């Protein structure tokens, strides 16, 4: 069924509802219908339906969620993501703006520029890890990533800089360009306010392009894929999933935690009661997956 057919079906269902009348004190008449149209569009846009892991996810410090994504665990139903949709809308406006500059003769900007940052291979095949750079400045050889954020995220970015996940994403975009033979010199992440009336509250972050965080994230993901394959081959899917369930979660906030079937209290109780303990060797293997990138270790300064 096409998106247009889906939307028409939602509209017809709302119009058929006995609540869709005009009593004087019935409250909003059209809102539920309009909300359904909007939420259907949000939940069926390509970003929401993406199943393969992308550059924006490889840098997470939540080993549990990283493994769940690589194992293609199904997600539980969750609320429609309104705040990311606001970010998507702003991205589209910027894409229109900088594309217009390009067509007017400024041989400089490339928007939503596709790159392949690497490949993950498993026993049943593999796939390219690909994404799109929000803005590629060919004059200064810089990648630009827009983050449409609230006050708390901007405060953290101002105090501590971008999160590991954002830094790795920027590094991977540079790697993707380098794979195409492009010169990359700078990585930029701009934290733009969604709760302010002025861009004076934006937090810009720019740094020299560093491929090492991206290389680390790709190597970590490949190691995790290999471990998952070994566990599944030797012990079965059930033991693999139990191993994933016990992997450490983020010590900070993780948006993906709570979207998997093993995160409910009932699921936790059932696992604890029915599943045999993991072999010691599998428990030991958990320590091989690093949650955080250590630049002094991975830049060759520490062996």
Structure-block tokens of residue 102: 């390009």
Residues 161 and 225 in one domain: no
- The pLDDT profile of the chain, 303 residues, written as one tens digit per residue, is 444 445 445 445 445 544 545 555 667 889 999 999 999 988 887 654 456 899 999 999 999 999 999 999 988 766 788 888 999 999 999 999 999 987 776 789 999 999 999 999 998 889 999 999 999 999 999 999 999 999 999 999 999 999 999 999 999 999 999 999 999 999 999 999 999 999 999 999 999 999 999 999 999 999 999 999 999 999 999 999 999 999 999 988 787 888 887 754 434 444 444 566 789 999 999 999 999 999 877 765 543
Residues 194 and 92 in one domain: yes
Edge-first strand order for the sheet with 109-122 is 109-122, 125-137, 142-149, 186-193, 203-208
* Domain containing residue 225: 217-298
Residue 259 in contact with residue 297, Cβ under 8 Å? no
pTM comes to 0.82
d(CA 104, CA 121): 42
Q: What is the DSSP string of the chain?
A: --HHHHHHHHHHHHHTSTT-S--TTS--SSHHHHHHHHHHHHHTSHHHH--S--TTTTT-S-HHHHHHHHTTPPBPP----HHHHHHHHHHHHHHHHHHHHHHTT-TTEEEEEEEEEEEEEETTEEEEEEEEEEEEETTTTEEEEEEEE-HHHHHHHHHH-S-HHHHHHHHHHHHHHHHTT----EEEEEEEESS-SSGGG-EEEEEE--SHHHHHHHHHHHHHHHHHHHHHHHH-HHHHHHHHHHSPPPSS--SSTTSBGGGSHHHHHHHHHHSPPPPHHHHHHGGGS-SS--HHHHTTS--
Residues 13 and 99 in one domain: no
| Residue 65 located in a structural domain | no
Structure-block tokens of residue 220: 């970590």
Angle at the Cα of 240 from the Cα atoms of 239 and 245, rounded to 5 degrees: 95
Domain final position from 214, 249, 266: 214
d(CA 204, CA 158): 9
Look-up of token digits 């970003």: 47
| Residue 72 located in a structural domain | no
Residues 31 and 134 in one domain: no
For 44-66, how does the pLDDT look when each residue is reduced to its tens digit (9 = 90+)? 876 544 568 999 999 999 999 99
Torsion sign across C-alpha atoms 146, 149, 151, 152: negative
Residues 224 and 286 in one domain: yes
| Residue 240 located in a structural domain | yes
CATH of the domain at 173: 3.90.320.10
Residues 155 and 267 in one domain: no
Domain final position from 190, 214, 238: 214
Residues 88 and 210 in one domain: yes
| Residue 74 located in a structural domain | no
Closest to 57 (Cα-Cα) out of 287, 249, 214: 214
Residues 187 and 257 in one domain: no
Residues 224 and 197 in one domain: no
Number of domains in the chain: 3
Residues 243 and 140 in one domain: no
Residues 93 and 209 in one domain: yes
| Residue 154 located in a structural domain | yes
pLDDT of residue 101: 87
d(CA 70, CA 98): 34
Torsion sign across C-alpha atoms 241, 244, 249, 253: negative
Q: Which residues contact 262 (CB under 8 A, 6 or more apart)?
A: 241, 244, 245, 268, 271
| Residue 64 located in a structural domain | no
| Residue 118 located in a structural domain | yes
Residues 106 and 192 in one domain: yes
Task: Burial-class residue 245 by CB neighbours within 10 Å (0-12, 13-18, 19+).
Answer: buried
Closest to 7 (Cα-Cα) out of 41, 55, 45: 41
| Residue 251 located in a structural domain | yes
């Amino acid at each position: 069924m096409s998106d247009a057919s889906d939307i028409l079906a939602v509209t017809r269902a709302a119009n058929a509802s006995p609540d869709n009348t005009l009593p004087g004190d019935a409250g909003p008449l059209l809102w539920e219908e309009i909300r359904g149209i909007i939420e259907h569009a949000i939940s069926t846009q390509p970003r929401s339906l993406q199943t393969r892991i992308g550059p924006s996810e490889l840098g997470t410090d939540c080993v549990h969620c990283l493994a769940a994504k690589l194992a293609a665990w199904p997600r539980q139903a969750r609320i429609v993501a309104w705040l990311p949709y606001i970010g998507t809308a702003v991205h589209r406006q910027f894409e229109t703006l900088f594309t217009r500059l390009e067509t007017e003769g400024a041989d400089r900007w490339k928007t939503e520029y596709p790159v392949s940052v690497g490949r993950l291979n498993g026993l049943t095949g593999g796939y390219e890890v690909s994404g799109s750079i929000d803005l590629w400045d060919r004059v200064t050889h810089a990648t630009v990533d827009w983050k449409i954020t609230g006050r708390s995220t901007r405060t953290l970015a101002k105090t501590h800089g971008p999160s590991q996940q954002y830094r790795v994403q920027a590094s991977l975009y540079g790697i993707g360009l380098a794979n195409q033979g492009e010169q990359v010199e700078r990585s930029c992440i701009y934290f733009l306010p969604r709760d302010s009336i002025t861009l004076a509250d934006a937090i810009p972050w720019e740094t020299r392009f560093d491929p090492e965080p991206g290389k680390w994230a790709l190597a970590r993901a490949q190691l995790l894929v290999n471990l998952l394959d070994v566990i599944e081959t030797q012990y079965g899917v059930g033991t693999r999933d139990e191993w994933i369930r016990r992997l450490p979660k983020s010590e900070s906030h993780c948006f993906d935690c709570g979207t998997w079937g093993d995160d409910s209290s009932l699921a936790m109780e059932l696992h604890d009661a029915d599943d045999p303990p993991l072999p010691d060797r599998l428990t030991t293997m958990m320590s091989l997956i690093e949650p955080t990138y250590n630049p002094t270790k991975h830049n060759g300064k520490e062996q």
